[in-house]
A and B are shown apart, each in its own frame.
Chain A
């Protein structure tokens, strides 16, 4: 019975995550600096950041891989969650800002504002912040979903609409009058819940929280896609009309999934911001959302762990490559996307799991090579 309760892939992912988490913490705390086993605070931070990306990829895979909704706007939900957390972190600065104003963040003092805009009220409360982190992306996705899915927008049109949404938000957040720090965004954070963001222990705790959140999110996503509603969603992906003839209101399933996914993306953003120390309108840029799609495609869409693998692999590759040749990254990313779509439609995990797919790839490649030689 226990065996059934945890599906195999779920068990594997949970184990891997827990082991990695525990290992990193031990390696950071127990082994002294200079030991080859030591994991530096910098690395802990970097891993935490990548795991936020993994959570974001997971959220996109849920709607794209399982329901065929190719959102090119998930970066917006991530950024909104991040901004909600950023507001709280700004308030934590208190009077330690450059202008020393106990209430107003520096950029507001700079703009000559005399009081907090209404939407900043309550942001000094951590509980309220947690609510905002989920509610803002959730409500936006709900409204967007109801409007788009009710009017039967799907496919490329939906992707374009989501892309337009994130672009519009980026333009809005660039404006100083919006009250989110304009161009510079929110930064110079000092504490979270009174603990210094610079300290090794805070970073370690944030890392652990990210691991735990990813675990819980993975578990919940797995439950959703394996329960009956998950089957309905798969049905919608393949033939929405058929699903409604069976008697399901497909709009409500799509709206639910899209909203839940946006909330996950928001949580990822909220975990990300304290670990990187900044949130600015660049997070809304369309290319960010496209990158998420590429993570999922490369990892293998339609498998939850594929999304995680994709986010981690591509992020590591990015950090290596941007170190070597910063300009080349976008080209590399585009090239990778094309290669994956052509040669491994099920992504990395499809290749690993399926010997036939492996063989097919080898055949395809050798065919190309042979042709080239012939030519």
Chain B
């Protein structure tokens, strides 16, 4: 039996799912379309333009690309940025994560958690309207800190172009507080819906997966730190971003243009997951008020269904609260930090790597430039590319379990696969910035 989902809807990008169910089990192919070739486009461009060009890889998480890129440029040029500009970038980054999560929860996932009711027009529901207002609060924060929420431009090599003025800081703080208030009103109902959505999908038990996250000075570190890997046997590994090539491997697939991404730990090559679920699973506690409380709910659900991929959705909700609270904290600090927007930059030869936690997980930008500051090499690994192998493995397990239980109605299988894929919130434009994915990893 062949189950084809063409296209996968309510996700970003063009993705087709092919599931071939036979005697030996299910073979899964996630095939992504939409080639643009950014790594090649960057060659020969002035290195300071990279942070302007790469947000166009993805309009859902442009802030993450903007920041990973500018960090890679600074690593290549050997620049340390002033504290104030780092804080502005952190605010931008946190806002970028929150807006992307709200886009997924509101526009993409919401129809699935409407208690199965046939909702004709979700845009007319009260809950959705509140989503829109909440997201608008976050967008204003990104507009001020980043310049514009789709395709920000404020970060430049050395720092930021514009530091927010006192009034700007006040506006952002008010927006974050308002956002938090709306979120608290939404939370109870949303949590309940997401939990029952998860619960009605717990008839399938998924294999444990390895995880990779960024760790730094904050409970959840989005901007800068070391990469931590926890594998499926709980073995841990910590490394500097500059050493990513030793631990994160991209592998050619003989019969296609695709690359698969694995982590290597203790000599073994493993499929892994990145993103909100991995971030919240590897975390011990959140000290903050509201998100700290929410996190307790998350942990209760996590202990019931450890690592269940549909928990991604609940993790997103918790992270929105976390981001808003962190934004307020960083803004308070920014207000008392010397207002130096940029450090001095020079044109020189170099190589640099920038890693951030994007909404969907680790994002790596890696550039080299010549003595005249023109890019000679670029490599970009996005979180969706990292997650594709795990998604395929999960789909395989899901479909095989359903078949075993005689739940072999095609429409039903499709529906369950869509729930699973959407929970990962894949961003296909990210994953195909360079490549086409048609792996056959599950055989």
- Same complex origin of A and B: no
Q: Which B residues are closer than 8 A to A by beta carbons?
A: none
Q: Which A residues are closer than 8 A to B by beta carbons?
A: none
